[in-house]
Structure 1
Amino acid sequence: MKRILLVRHGESEWNAIRRLQGQADIELSERGTQQARALAPMVASFNPGLVLTSDLKRAANTAALLGHEDAVREPLLREQNVGAWTGMEIAQLIEDAPGAYAGWRAGTFAPENGEIWADFRARVTSALDKAISAEAETVLMVCHGGVIRAALDGALGLPPARIIPVGPASLTILAFPKSEPRLEVFNATTFAPVIDAPD
């Protein structure tokens, strides 16, 4: 049975200060590096036959820390483009534009020059389809919180308004038996799950 392991990168330098990053190419924080290393044995236990990673540094470096320096870089796995909101503090966005921010989290609003949810979901679903059609039974995709939420929407019809933010260095597993796809694991970590993770 095909399984897709979805790992969000470890905490980035902007996650640590709760700044929205989108496709800005931000490094892992020291804590994020430690989180990724701690997750490595859990991911290794599934013995993925193919490893794909977003080409942004925080994801590619997480893949390397998981033991997959040779992961295939896949631009389709980039985080959602947040346009004019790139680099903005989340608290400030919530204070200045609470309705717009809530709409963005729910997939019904895109900031100026940002990627609308339907386009983002279609991009991520395309990456998911490529992984499903790959020969390997277990595929690891090291990516971003928004990408994981878009994958859950694309595969299971679970809209972003119904999903909490995905925690850093967490594992989510989608299974694709002959029947309907199913969610086997969500937001699993080697530490206490983060349920209020920054985007």
Structure 2
Amino acid sequence: MRLILLRHGETLWNTEKRLQGHDNSPLSPRGIEQARAIVPRLRSLAPARVVTSDLGRVRQTAEIVGHADAPSDERLRELDMGEWTGLRKDALIAEKPDLYRAWRAGSYTPAGGEAWDDFVARITSTLTHWLYAGQGDLLAIVHSGVVRVACFGFLGLKPAHLLPVTPGNLAIFDFEDVRGAAPPRLEAYNLGEFAPDTDVAD
């Protein structure tokens, strides 16, 4: 069984390098292009089931790729960034470099935000739930943080060891036996029609 994770297309806030969290911004023209470009690859993968985050940028991506009727699950939302929601990444790095690095490392939580460990627990349990909920490959249309958590929670890969998750690209996990003790294998990461980005805001 495969777990196929698709990050939503680039948003207007992504272009401004603003942290989105549970807030929302519509797809940019490039984001719409990214979503359209991944459609042939999704068709070739032919997932049996689809689920999405309930946030607008993901639902917009789902509609473009042909899964407007897929169920949504609020538990698949991006990390809640609390008072940092809407702030620009470059401003945070300039004004609070130590806190920003600590946040990226999972050891600091902005006021009103979600702790990294809680985020990991939320996402891994939710993805596992959907894998158990049916048979066949599962496509989850989600956020960059969700992909990073899947790599960490299922494989032990820390975010610092991964390139940023490019909008409109795929990560694929191969679960030989979702109920077994063996961890999945990472079949693909940043797979898509757009080259991996090196500096992308969440």
Q: Same fold (TM over 0.5)?
A: yes
Q: How does 1:4-153 map to 2 (within 5 A)?
A: 4-153=3-152
Q: Point out the more displaced range, 14-23 or 126-135.
A: 126-135
SS of residue matched to 1:45: helix
Q: Distance in 2 between matches of 1:164 and 1:111?
A: 23
- For the 8 Å contact 1:7–1:142, the answer to whether it is kept is yes
SS of residue matched to 2:199: coil
Alignment of 1:192 with 2:195, yes or no, is yes
Task: Give the TM-score of the pair, scaled to structure 2.
Answer: 0.94
Q: Distance in 2 between matches of 1:175 and 1:98?
A: 37
Q: Distance in 2 between matches of 1:145 and 1:37?
A: 18
- For the 8 Å contact 2:144–2:165, the answer to whether it is kept is yes
1:194 Cα deviation after fit: 1.5
1:163 Cα deviation after fit: 2.0
Q: For residue 64 of structure 1, what is the amino acid of its counterpart?
A: E
Q: Distance in 2 between matches of 1:121 and 1:44?
A: 29
Q: Distance in 2 between matches of 1:136 and 1:60?
A: 23
- For the 8 Å contact 1:175–1:182, the answer to whether it is kept is yes
Q: Distance in 2 between matches of 1:21 and 1:163?
A: 20
Alignment of 1:182 with 2:148, yes or no, is no
1:196 Cα deviation after fit: 2.1
- Consecutive unaligned residues of structure 2, counting only runs of 5 or more, are none
Aligned residues: 198
Q: Distance in 1 between matches of 2:165 and 2:51?
A: 19
CA deviation vs aligned residue, 1:13-60 (integer Å, no higher than 9, x gap): 100111111110221111111110111111111111111000001011
Task: Give the TM-score of the pair, scaled to structure 1.
Answer: 0.96
Q: For residue 76 of structure 1, what is the amino acid of its counterpart?
A: R
1:192 Cα deviation after fit: 1.9
